[in-house]
Copies of this chain bind each other. A is one copy, B any other.
Amino acid sequence: MAEGQVRDLWKEARELGLGISGEVERLESPPSPLVFLRDFVAANKPCIISRAATLHWPAVARSLWSDDSYLCQALDGCDVSVHLTPHGRADSLVPIPPGAPGDAPRGLCFASAFVRTMEFQEALRIIYSTGSPSSPVVAYAQQQNDCFRAEYSALSADVEPHIPWATEALGCLPEAVNLWIGNGRSETSFHKDHYENLYVVVTGEKHFLLLPPTEVHRLYVRSYPAAQYVTSSSSEMGELKLEMVEPKILVPWCSVDPYPPSPEVMADQRTSFPLYFNGPKPFQCTVKAGEILYLPSMWLHHVSQTPDSNGRTIAINYWYDMVFDIKYAYFNFLQSISFSHCTNEPSRMICNSCDVSDLSGDSELESTRKG
């Protein structure tokens, strides 16, 4: 229906402001609050700020967080939340378990990690040990509920409590500060957040795939039934089992897996999601130790990581409240307009009708989580 117009929007948003190279602009030093607000926040445009922005942080300058003995001593006796999955992908789409009702797009469900609280020292140990491809479980220390200021408050002197130029630009302190400790297998599937995000890698590297909100149709947001990993064993490394959440909950989520595990799955992904695989190249960047990524609100992002020589990646991110302004209203309008042929699901292939209600079944969906 609106395919031509939506494609024009993709093109125009990139050509006018976001850039056509697919690269994220890099700043050598922290921007002034005014420049940050004008050139990036108001423009809803990402940027990476060099290590110069965090060189005064003890965690960066003295590489404190690359030192196990420092971390274990500082967090001695502290309990932290660890997400356990069989594959490293928390909050991702996986096949509905055998025996469960199968009425879902492509037979998939939205699987949340099994979350276990454990002493930090133990968490660090299993993050290392589960980085090996042979491990049947992958551990990722994360909890997107302001966990840095709660579980990791013993480390608060190692970083800044907020990003001063961002705080001044946005006119508020961070709503949440989260810490992330993962190994090379940890991955976050495509989603968006309703926050302005200042994402700082402290050790290791994070790899981002980014799509502007104008390109939301390319990720085929669909409603998937929620499922949850559980373990019957009392050991934290017990085998994980996937259970459907009862009563049924539907979670709108991006359908595309940009890095499928096998050529067969890749072939299926390419056939099913041509708008992603045949469309304009996603923005792509690697954020290195000490660097800050400004990830604008509503941008769709996929995150993977490369560990440091000690086998881990540690990042901290500052979530600032976004303003729900005219850009947000425009985004919701865009999402309410159907893109014909944007899916190969049979029920959506027939679109030679003007009845929008038949076609834009996802208009009210939000592929959102705190993540």
Within 8 A of B (CB), among A163-183: 168-171
Closest to A336 in B: B5
Selected interface stretch from A85-93, A304-312, A325-333: A325-333
Selected interface stretch from A35-43, A55-63, A75-83: A35-43
CB distance from A325 to the nearest CB of B (A): 4
Q: Which one of B13, B42, B326 lies within 8 Å of A329 (CB-CB)? A: B13
- Decide if B354 touches A353 in the complex (CB within 8 Å): yes
Question: What residues of B have a CB within 8 angstroms of the CB of A337 in the complex?
Answer: 2, 5, 337
Closest to A333 in B: B9
Chain B CB within 10 Å, residue with most, of A214, A326, A331: A326
Closest to A324 in B: B16
Whether, in the assembled complex, A94 has its beta carbon less than 8 Å from a beta carbon of chain B, the answer is no
- Decide if B9 touches A330 in the complex (CB within 8 Å): yes
Bound: A115/B351 CA distance, A: 53
Question: What residues of B have a CB within 8 angstroms of the CB of A44 in the complex?
Answer: 325-326
Closest to A1 in B: B354
Whether, in the assembled complex, A34 has its beta carbon less than 8 Å from a beta carbon of chain B, the answer is yes
Bound: A194/B354 CA distance, A: 33
Whether, in the assembled complex, A239 has its beta carbon less than 8 Å from a beta carbon of chain B, the answer is no
CB distance from A286 to the nearest CB of B (A): 24
Whether, in the assembled complex, A20 has its beta carbon less than 8 Å from a beta carbon of chain B, the answer is no
Closest to A353 in B: B354
Whether, in the assembled complex, A105 has its beta carbon less than 8 Å from a beta carbon of chain B, the answer is no
- Decide if B352 touches A354 in the complex (CB within 8 Å): yes
Bound: A363/B176 CA distance, A: 42
Bound: A240/B13 CA distance, A: 45
Whether, in the assembled complex, A6 has its beta carbon less than 8 Å from a beta carbon of chain B, the answer is yes
Closest to A13 in B: B329
Whether, in the assembled complex, A33 has its beta carbon less than 8 Å from a beta carbon of chain B, the answer is yes
- Decide if A5 touches B356 in the complex (CB within 8 Å): yes
Within 8 A of B (CB), among A306-365: 323-334, 336-337, 340, 351-354, 356, 360, 363
Question: What residues of B have a CB within 8 angstroms of the CB of A171 in the complex?
Answer: 34-35, 38
Question: What residues of B have a CB within 8 angstroms of the CB of A326 in the complex?
Answer: 13, 16-18, 43-45, 212-214, 327
Whether, in the assembled complex, A268 has its beta carbon less than 8 Å from a beta carbon of chain B, the answer is no
Question: What residues of B have a CB within 8 angstroms of the CB of A38 in the complex?
Answer: 37, 41-42, 169-171, 323
Whether, in the assembled complex, A4 has its beta carbon less than 8 Å from a beta carbon of chain B, the answer is yes
Bound: A171/B336 CA distance, A: 35
Question: What residues of B have a CB within 8 angstroms of the CB of A324 in the complex?
Answer: 16-17
Whether, in the assembled complex, A8 has its beta carbon less than 8 Å from a beta carbon of chain B, the answer is yes
CB distance from A367 to the nearest CB of B (A): 18
Whether, in the assembled complex, A103 has its beta carbon less than 8 Å from a beta carbon of chain B, the answer is no
- With A5-B363, A42-B323, A353-B354 in contact, do A16 and B329 touch (Cβ < 8 Å)? yes
Given contacts A2-B356, A4-B356, A42-B323, 5 further A-B contacts (CB under 8 A): A1-B354, A8-B332, A16-B329, A17-B329, A43-B325
